[in-house]
Chain A
Amino acid sequence: MSALILKSALVVDPRNNKNAVGDIYFENGLVVSHAPSGAQVLDVAGHCLVPGFVDMRCTVRSRADLQLALEQGYTTLLCPQEAPDGIFFPEAPKCLHMAPLTRGREGKELAGVPPGARVLFDGNRSIGNAALMRRAMQYASAVGVVVMVHAEDKLLSGKGVLGEGAAALSWGIPCVPVSAEATVIARDLLLLEEAGGHLHFAHISCKRSLQLIAEAKQRGLSVTADVSPMHLNNWDLSIEAYSPRARVWPPLRAEEDSLALREGLKSGLIDAIASDHYRRTKDEIEEPFELCVPGGEHLNTVWPTLWSMDMPLADKIARLTSGPARALRLGGGHLGEGAFADAVVLDVKTGQVLKTIVDGRICFSRGAML
């Protein structure tokens, strides 16, 4: 396999507390400590070199999704469902498929943990049965996999499509109370105390949920959380009524929730930012609001959102690299010796992704398509 030397970059590697100019060496898909012989040398002086971005939830439906991910600096994507055959190309980012927590994702009985599985996730479905959830967490803890939770009490969310508040009332659409998310988080945190293991909450949308997670972290529970760019950048009243853009899941909530999420991301209470990218077809959005399929193209909003936030560069990078890698026990997400040779070259001034390197190969260069 190939070898690559990246010379004179400003290396920002949050996991290894590195923020200095230096060289990084890649050989056989891994980071090595000494310059490999016969390597291709790339002078990236004046640019920033960071670990490859990791997206915790991304639905890959087409080749365009993979291409967009590369352009945005992603080297690893976690996919709730299998991507269609025939769309992959040699330079594509790595896609890890998440295994179901319950058989058929129906929330009725435990699914087995397939060899190599790291994360169990039932997609946007919560397990209503607390006893089953408790056993699933015990089992996951014993076999060393992470449970990712979409927190939603179906009875409380009902037919709701937007957070409870003035917008839902005036648009005249069914709404979802904060308690639909927060009660499941409270329940699962109590179960975690008994079951042990590690729990990761996907796309937190409310301030109240954050308070519960903050308290659990203070008590020393092994819990992490992520947020989607939609919930950081938008709230129910910030979007034009009935715009398909506002049809996301979990639903958009109030401005104060959005502000609390931004604060949580800054402070590190929220460990990661996940795109929840789901490219919709025309048919899926040319319907009355309630009938539109939730989703949207968000792979290209994550990094610009982080870049624009008022927080140290190393923290921004951490939320897309070491944060998700640690939360999901993936390994990688850093540039220390032995880590995957996944990296991104960024423009220091604009934050623009200049190069994406997957397994030691330059898979994307701005201005020059593959």
Chain B
Amino acid sequence: MIPHLLSIRELSREDVLDILERASRLKREGACCSALAGKVVVNLFYEPSTRTSCSFEVAAAGLGAHVLNWNVASSSSVKGETLLDTARNLAAMGVFAFVIRHPNAGAPALVARHINCAVVNAGDGRHEHPSQALLDAFTLKEKWGDLEGRHILIVGDVLHSRVARSNLYCLKLLGAKVSFCGPPSLVPKAFETLGTHIYFDLDEALKEADAVMMLRLQKERQTEALIPSVQEYHRRWGLDLRRLSQLKRGAFVMHPGPVNRGLEMASEAMEGPSNLILEQVSNGVIIRQAILESLQ
């Protein structure tokens, strides 16, 4: 049981294993539709999201909770209300948990510090996206049974990626080795201080990986001069059929979505048995039920 889920970094191996075991049970036996009966879960989203907000909504509804979707575009924050004031007002209506996505790192932690409610981080800036990492670990664990000694390669815009950070901590807690690959402007060498290995050459890196996780590239990274062009990015760090064939036998391909077809992944590379993208999505609901269930 945990009071909040703000980051993987502050979880123990036991916390992670507990959530993964709950998820296995939920997948096997189905969710108890009264586990959160009478409780209100608020999705507080300050950034557009389809996958994550829907996934949390379906998960909470499956446990019998009442879900409020608070979307920034249609809320009073456009009238200048601060995050904390919004959260205070909603909390006063009697809320069990906030599920928060925010463009600034540390925003869910700020709410958790000031408001007496459970807080789940659904992605904050480039900090963390813990539920994504847990569902990725769950998906791989289902395939391999154990992550000990496995090597997962994360490719692309690691610098701006909360998915990469959460996965780094989560996979390492479970005994896996994690490497990053991409251009130095998006994969700074300093990441090695967090316990990862850095590759700049994707062809070299792919040979070593048991699973490769491709990250979404924001097209505005080109205008920020972090990459010379999207074409060059695809040529050097994109996953196409040729590179797919270089992977070890049985290695898996993952992506947190949404995919830029033809940019970080060629369309053809999205087909095939090694691709886990849709399994990631369906496991997402189960993991989020496990998270909501484990909140004290």
Which A residues form the contact surface with B (CB < 8 A)?
164-166, 169-173, 241-242, 283, 286-291
Contacts and interface: CB of A to CB of B under 8 A. Distances in A.
Contact of A165 (B82, B107, B190): B190
Given A242-B106, A286-B82, A172 B193 contact: no
B224 to A, nearest CB: 9
11 contacts: A165-B193, A166-B193, A169-B188, A172-B105, A172-B127, A242-B105, A286-B110, A286-B114, A288-B107, A290-B104, A291-B104
B82 A287 contact: yes
Interface residues of B, number: 24
Contacts of A291: 104
A170 B29 CA distance: 37
Contacts, number: 65
Interface centre among A173, A241, A288, A290 (most CB of B within 10 A): A288
B13 interface: no
B58 interface: no
B101 interface: no
A173 B125 contact: yes
Interface centre among B9, B102, B110, B188 (most CB of A within 10 A): B110
Nearest to A242: B106
Nearest to A287: B82
A165 B193 CA distance: 9
B11 interface: no
B190 A169 contact: yes
B275 to A, nearest CB: 28
B100 to A, nearest CB: 11
Given A286-B84, A287-B82, A287-B83, A171 B190 contact: no
Contacts of A172: 105, 124-128, 162, 165
A288 B188 contact: no
B114 to A, nearest CB: 7
Nearest to B104: A288
B191 interface: yes
Nearest to B114: A286
A289 B9 CA distance: 18
Contacts of B194: 166, 169-170
A326 B225 CA distance: 44
B244 interface: no
Interface centre among B104, B106, B188 (most CB of A within 10 A): B106
